[in-house]
Amino acid sequence: MEFSGFDWDVGNRTKCERHGVTIAEIEDLFRRPVRVAPDPAHSTHEERFKAIGRTEAGRFVFLVFTLRRRGRHTLLRPISARYMHAKEVRHHEEEASDADDR
């Protein structure tokens, strides 16, 4: 997925930080492997995506985002972010392991 930067404002900063995930952690997710999937259930007005990645400290983050065009640039606009619960992390790791076995 190609994008030129991030689209932040007071609204999405506040919503993402509400769950303790910092802006720096969200941006850092995309500097390392991240699993991205479409989110058709929440794509009524614009295409949305779900991402799961790990912070530099090793914590798993679940992120919902969209892509926005600003002139010639495509920006990633985070909508919501939170740390994943242990049960979700186990499920994610099992799915990743199953995919590696195929």
pLDDT at 102 exceeding the cut of 70? no
26-83: per-residue pLDDT in tens? Answer: 999 999 999 999 998 877 888 999 999 999 999 999 999 999 999 999 999 999 999 9
Average pLDDT over residues 7-36: 93
Higher per-residue pLDDT: 102 or 77: 77
Residue 73 · residue 67 · CB < 8 Å:
no
Question: If pLDDT is split at 50, 70 and 90, which confidence band does 91 have?
Answer: confident
What is the chain's alpha carbon radius of gyration, rounded to the nearest angstrom? 14
DSSP state of 43: -
The predicted pLDDT at position 93 comes to 81
